[in-house]
Structure 1
Amino acid sequence: MAQGKPGSSSPPGGPPKPGSQLDSMLGSLQSDLNKLGVATVAKGVCGACKKPIAGQVVTAMGRTWHPEHFVCTHCQEEIGSRNFFERDGQPYCEKDYHTLFSPRCYYCNGPILDKVVTALDRTWHPEHFFCAQCGAFFGPEGFHEKDGKAYCRKDYFDMFAPKCGGCARAILENYISALNTLWHPECFVCRECFTPFVNGSFFEHDGQPYCEVHYHERRGSLCSGCQKPITGRCITAMAKKFHPEHFVCAFCLKQLNKGTFKEQNDKPYCQNCFLKLFC
């Protein structure tokens, strides 16, 4: 009757599994050594296959392993002398551990292996946490958040802070509210002469603030004689406006009536002075 060699038999239905074949070979080796009088002492029980370890041994995570059985739980590659990580009592190679369990950078979606920035309820590589507008890294002043994005102070206020009605730049601190808009205090001045308003009193024309003189100038209501605003009675002559007391003969300075003057070189004259000077 033919006898099979130890470790060479195969179960019906297919070739032996590599692990089973190796275990059989180790068992045969130990048996042969015992027959030769060489005592073999187990170095522990393998944490994976639960069988005695007679040769090389790996000690890790408080257990002993056959080197070929100390493998990454995810990729099943032998760990050997490489670095590994433990999670829930299972070993993982460095690559798979970071891929499976390390925090992910919100910007690049890659695993974060070293320093991490936690902001906006997310995690980031330090080099990937920067202003969403200009790309600059944040200094000691930190960042400002809008719609889930981080911005440096300058860009945040340039983009989202209310704008001054005078200079159109962002308003960061004190402001004046007037004419349905906001103003830097130093920008709320007459739009013509840039003079600040006394006691906050100003005149509005086309949505802009003016001092009294330039308000009337814009409206065409300055007296052509004294260059001061006309707020009461007014005489219109020669396409100009005058206080009644300032509509006078250019030569004798006698007060004129609208219908009783003569015009010469864009100046008004009484009847007598006109005849003396030009006739």
Structure 2
Amino acid sequence: MAQGKGGVPGGPPTQVNKLDNMLGSLQSDLNKLGVQTVAKGVCGACCKPIVGQVVTAMGRTWHPEHFVCTHCQEEIGSRNFFERDGQPYCETDYHNLFSPRCYYCNGPILDKVVTALDRTWHPEHFFCAQCGSFFGPEGFHEKDGKAFCRKDYFDMFAPKCGGCARAILENYISALNSLWHPECFVCRECFTPFVNGSFFEHDGQPYCEVHYHERRGSLCSGCQKPITGRCITAMSKKFHPEHFVCAFCLKQLNKGTFKEQNDKPYCHGCFVKLFS
């Protein structure tokens, strides 16, 4: 059974074959009239001679209607195109298929590119994951595959000072199960640095000796110095034994042999003389 060229058996020829037949007839008619037609090359797509318009690209010649995007098959014409593996692609398809993609928006990157964290980014889409700011000369810090500016990185992930609760960036002191800026590891009451690193702990905080005993209620009410040995408790206060004295004659008192007046202790004799 006969089959039309490039078509179904017995069916009409395709549009491409019609065009080829018309061009062949035209060339034959021109030859009969004595007009010599010279082929301008062989089409890189259909491998047939080109008599009319010709497209020259990629070191080859093409019928204009055959110079199409390898992906979408749209005629390229005078538009920009890209070559890959010897095949032409329109600009849109080339970027969609082969250009690096931005990790943030997943769009193709057509111009400048930032390469970081083993990924590619549009420059305008590479910013701090916390505050959205672009990175300055100090660059960025990485955590769990995300980029952070220096401030947010240390605010979020650096250890915090037991004194001021701000991030510790450089030198630190380790004490009381916490880390401290050196300038923050001082008495929590008077803010005095500790001599030779010696300090006292109360409720998880460092104190100098005086304020430690003040917080513990172990300062002598007579001399206002810490009580480290024997102690007398009287009038809801604490005293060195030698400092628990009569407020008038300054004679040392025993805990059970004093009189109290206006929150002061007196020996029996002075109390009788002063208040009887």
After TM superposition, the score normalised by the length of structure 2 is: 0.96
Mapped partners of 1:154, 1:213: distance in 2: 38
By how many angstroms is 1:218 displaced? 0.6
CA contact (8 A) 2:247 2:264 kept: yes
CA contact (8 A) 2:115 2:121 kept: yes
By how many angstroms is 1:17 displaced? 2.2
Mapped partners of 2:14, 2:63: distance in 1: 17
Give the aligned CA root-mean-square deviation in angstroms. 2.2
By how many angstroms is 1:15 displaced? 4.2
By how many angstroms is 1:106 displaced? 0.1
By how many angstroms is 1:113 displaced? 0.1
By how many angstroms is 1:35 displaced? 1.5
Query: Per-residue displacement from partner, 1:119-148 (whole Å, max 9, x unpaired)?
Result: 000000000000101111111111100000
Mapped partners of 1:190, 1:161: distance in 2: 24
Mapped partners of 1:36, 1:74: distance in 2: 42
Query: Per-residue displacement from partner, 1:19-45 (whole Å, max 9, x unpaired)?
Result: 222111111111111121111000000
**Tell me, which stretches of 5 or more residues in structure 2 are unaligned?**
none
By how many angstroms is 1:18 displaced? 2.1
Mapped partners of 2:17, 2:42: distance in 1: 16
Query: Per-residue displacement from partner, 1:82-137 (whole Å, max 9, x unpaired)?
Result: 10000000000000000000000000000000000000000000000001011111
After TM superposition, the score normalised by the length of structure 1 is: 0.95
SS of the aligned residue for 1:241 comes to strand
By how many angstroms is 1:16 displaced? 3.0
Relative to structure 1, the CA distance from residue 14 to residue 247 in structure 2 (aligned partners, 3 Å threshold; closer, same or farther) is farther
By how many angstroms is 1:261 displaced? 0.1
Query: Per-residue displacement from partner, 1:143-173 (whole Å, max 9, x unpaired)?
Result: 1000000011111111101100000000001
Query: Per-residue displacement from partner, 1:47-93 (whole Å, max 9, x unpaired)?
Result: 00000000010000000000000000000000001100000000000
Relative to structure 1, the CA distance from residue 3 to residue 142 in structure 2 (aligned partners, 3 Å threshold; closer, same or farther) is closer
Mapped partners of 1:256, 1:22: distance in 2: 130
Mapped partners of 1:92, 1:4: distance in 2: 32
CA contact (8 A) 2:40 2:50 kept: yes
**Tell me, which stretches of 5 or more residues in structure 1 are unaligned?**
6-11
Relative to structure 1, the CA distance from residue 4 to residue 187 in structure 2 (aligned partners, 3 Å threshold; closer, same or farther) is closer
SS of the aligned residue for 1:168 comes to coil
Relative to structure 1, the CA distance from residue 168 to residue 3 in structure 2 (aligned partners, 3 Å threshold; closer, same or farther) is closer
Query: Per-residue displacement from partner, 1:227-249 (whole Å, max 9, x unpaired)?
Result: 10000000000010000000000
